[in-house]
Structure 1
Amino acid sequence: MTVHSGGCHCGNIRLSFSSALDPAALEIRACQCSFCTRHGSRAAADPNGRLVVSVSDRQRLQVYRFGLRTADYLVCRNCGVYVAAIAGEKDDARAIVIVNALYERERFSREPVAVSYDAESREQRLARRRSAWMPVDIQLS
């Protein structure tokens, strides 16, 4: 496994994305929802990898939900950087990492695939995330 580090601009939120996959071969998705397009989101996940999200100051972590309300979008309240999305809770939590928040983002060079999930039902969306997103650990200080 290779660990790819990153985080928000001010350093309040730190990321550690572990994957055995070559970053240049990893599929990058550009969700076409209004939130993701406004953030210029490029998301990645490795179902066999892991994401660790460490937050120094919980008060500066903004958790945002919209639409079907099936995921928490993590944004730093201080610097405004969108770093990850998490669906599920505790041991069932799964996540995507926002490639733009990784320090070596240029290594994730594959052209993003534009995706739209508007036609999914709540159950379909949750099932897709369980199978395609990766396990996540959240460490709050």
Structure 2
Amino acid sequence: MTVHSGGCHCGNIRLGFSTALDPGAVEIRACQCSFCTRHGSRAAADPKGRLVVSVADKERLQVYRFGLRTADYLVCRDCGVYVAAIAGAGDEARAIVIVNALDERERFSREPVPVRYDTETRDQRLARRRGAWMPVEIRGM
């Protein structure tokens, strides 16, 4: 596994995305919801990989929920960077990483696939995330 590092602009939130996949082979999704389009989001996950999110000062972390309220969207309160989304808790927690928040984001070169999830029910959305998102470890929250 290779660890791809990243985080928010000010450094309060750090990321470690572990995957055995070549960065150019990782599927990039461009969710078309209003939150993601406003952030220019390009999201990735490897169900066989792992994401580690480390937060230095949890008071500077904004956790945002909207819509069906099935995921926490992590945004730095200081610099405004959207870094990841997490669904579930504990050992069941799964995440996506925002490629734009990775240090070597240009290596993730696949054209983003536009996706729309607004017709999913709450249960369908949770099931998709359990299967397609990756395990996550959160430190400092």
Q: Which of the five TM-score ranges fits, normalised by the shorter chain? A: over 0.9
The reply on whether 1:37 has 2:60 as its aligned counterpart is no
CA drift at 1:14: 0.1
Give the distance between the partners of 2:128 and 2:56, measured in 1 at CA. Answer: 31
Task: Please name the residue that 1:94 is paired with.
Answer: 94
CA drift at 1:19: 0.0
CA drift at 1:93: 0.2
**Unpaired segments of 5 or more residues in structure 1?**
none
Task: Please name the residue that 1:130 is paired with.
Answer: 130
The reply on whether 1:23 has 2:23 as its aligned counterpart is yes
In the superposition, the TM-score normalised over structure 2's length comes to 0.99
Give the distance between the partners of 2:140 and 2:69, measured in 1 at CA. Answer: 22
Give the distance between the partners of 2:62 and 2:32, measured in 1 at CA. Answer: 21
Give the distance between the partners of 2:71 and 2:11, measured in 1 at CA. Answer: 23
Moved over 4 A (4+): none
The sequence identity of aligned pairs, in percent, is: 84
**Pairing of 1:47-126 with structure 2 (within 5 A):** 47-126=47-126
CA drift at 1:106: 0.2
Matched residue count: 141
CA drift at 1:88: 0.2
Task: Please name the residue that 2:4 is paired with.
Answer: 4
In the superposition, the TM-score normalised over structure 1's length comes to 0.99
**Unpaired segments of 5 or more residues in structure 2?**
none
SS of residue paired to 1:3: strand
Give the distance between the partners of 1:128 and 1:22, measured in 2 at CA. Answer: 23
